[in-house]
Amino acid sequence: MGNLNLGTVECLECENSFSCRIGLSNRREQELNLSCKECGAISTFNISEMKILSMTGVKKSSKEPCYHIDLHLDFPVFEHDTHPLISPFMMSHMMGGEFNTSKHAHDMHLLNCISENIIDIKNTLGFYLKKKHKNFSRKVSSYLNIEEITPDSIQAEMLLFKYLFEIIEPFNSQESTNASIDLFLTKVKELSKTSNSTLKLFTDEIAESKFIEHSINDAVKIYQKILLKEVIFRPSLFLDHVDKPKDNKVPFLLSTKDFEYIGDLFKDISEVLSRQLVVVAGLNNLLKRNDHNEFKVTLSAKNKILEPQSLKEYADLDFGRKLSFIDSSWFPISSDIADNQLRNSTAHYKWEYDPSSQVIKYYPKKEGLNRVASKELLLIDYCKKVIESFRVFHEVNYLLHIVNLKSRNKI
């Protein structure tokens, strides 16, 4: 930890000068980026494991700085008119307090371990996708320090979820995951007692279609993506621990990567979560109407039936409409998670990004040849939306696993 005070540096493209200080992370290798406020050119600061700094896009300068910028991988940073006495770490400590800063430090340590083993983790998850169960078991058993087995498909799936429980902890606390697992098991056991025959019809249909197998495999690809790109989410994870003032005039900024690095992640998570909702809806229908295909009757103003007539029909609806047909869900999911406007804008490349201000401008409406009606979102807030969506996706993925175990009579 500590800081590297670079003094004044100068953009090689436009000669704009500014002072810069880098707060050091414990990550083995650190790549930090900033965009020149004057011309938008990207500068990169690389810090090696030996804490040796190399810079591209800027050079040392004897000019008077026009402004000051702090950089830090693990915490949000701010732009200042002059060099502040308080570093990003100290500012974050003041915002979050001792306990929350320590919790964040623990999460950053876990992410550091992930970054150092990312190729191994990617290979391990790849073995699962390719059904190389023996290789997968060997890698997971070594990681978890448990006895190696030669698993069949359901045993490999059980190993997968033990593995995910450990490697996803920085993004979603194990306490939260355990609470959701307990809820899922409670609901499945409740249905086993009161509606076992109809529950079996549901699990048989889901199993025969290989819906859960396909959905879990799609989820594994999301886990690979988010772990490969963990570095950009670090400051947003810290903001979990603090209340951001609503009238905050100074935007929180990131010190690495840009929107294009993760621009597709919200869309990708939403697509997989949308498919996962089939299981949430099926169980909801069983709990309320004792039939996984029966949705609450919904009529239009002209008495037209709006609700899907089966779970298969429901599966083809878009994300936002799916949420609307899960009535008073036993597992509430905020409509903000769907955010069809942001999802569609990023999916259809209807956005602009300013790397200097880190503002994403997206255009959610169909406007023919024009682009007029826009919405704006800071990059750090986009990262928070990705994390929030990922957490729901992660916990619902455990629900799919539990339903699959039920269909195999493992619980």
Same domain, 271 and 386: yes
Model pLDDT, residue 333: 86
What pLDDT score does 241 carry?
Answer: 81
Percentage of residues in the chain having pLDDT higher than 70: 98
Is position 382 within any domain?
Answer: yes
Does 109 reside within a domain? Answer: no
What's the confidence (pLDDT) of residue 249? 55
CB-CB contact of 326 with 273 (8 Å): no
pLDDT single digits (tens) 39-56 = 999 999 999 988 899 999
Same domain, 46 and 179: no
Q: Which of 91, 110, 142 is the last residue of a domain?
A: 91
Decide: 388 and 395 in contact? Cβ < 8 Å. no
- Whether residues 172 and 67 share a domain: the answer is no
216 in a domain, yes or no?
yes
| Domain limit, last residue, from 68, 91, 114 | 91
pLDDT in the model for residue 54 = 96
The alpha-helical segments, DSSP class H, found in 290-378 are 311-315, 319-324, 340-347
pLDDT digits (tens, 9 = 90+) for 9-34: 999 999 999 999 999 999 999 999 99
In a domain, 42, yes or no: yes
- For residue 247, pLDDT over 60 is answered with no
pLDDT at 268: 96
Q: How far apart are CA 92 and CA 77, in angstroms?
A: 9
Averaged pLDDT, 96-121: 93
Q: What span, in angstroms and rounded, lies between the C-alpha atoms of 4 and 32?
A: 13
Instruction: Name the token pair of 324.
Output: 């609307």
Would you tell me how many other CB atoms lie within 10 Å of the CB of residue 316?
10
| Residue type present at position 2 | G
- Is the pLDDT score of 245 beyond 60? no
* Window from 44-48, 80-84, 359-363 with minimum mean pLDDT: 80-84
Are 36 and 184 members of one domain? no
One domain for residues 200 and 287: yes
- Establish if 206 belongs to a structural domain: yes
- Residue 226's domain comprises 168-248+258-407
161 falls in which pLDDT band (50, 70, 90)? very high
Q: Are 322 and 206 in a shared domain?
A: yes
Mean pLDDT of the chain: 91
Q: What is the pLDDT of residue 94?
A: 86
**Are 56 and 195 in the same domain?**
no
Domain assignment present for 97: no
Residue with tokens 């992930």: 114
Mean pLDDT of 292-296: 94
Number of domains forming the structure of the chain = 2
- 226 and 342 share one domain: yes
pLDDT value at position 250?
A: 61
- Give the Cα separation of 244 and 192 in Å (integer): 44
Task: Give pTM, 2 decimals.
Answer: 0.93
Q: Do 391 and 279 belong together in one domain?
A: yes
Is 324 part of a structural domain of the chain? yes
User: Are 47 and 195 within one domain?
Assistant: no
Q: Which residues contact 128 (CB under 8 A, 6 or more apart)?
A: 136, 156, 160, 220
CA 42 to chain centre: 25
- Average pLDDT estimate for 96-114: 92
Residue 173: per-residue pLDDT: 80
Average the pLDDT over 275-303 and give the result.
90
Residue 370, in any domain of the structure: yes
Question: Which of 40, 57, 91 is where one domain is finished?
Answer: 91
Give strand pairing partners of 22: 4, 71
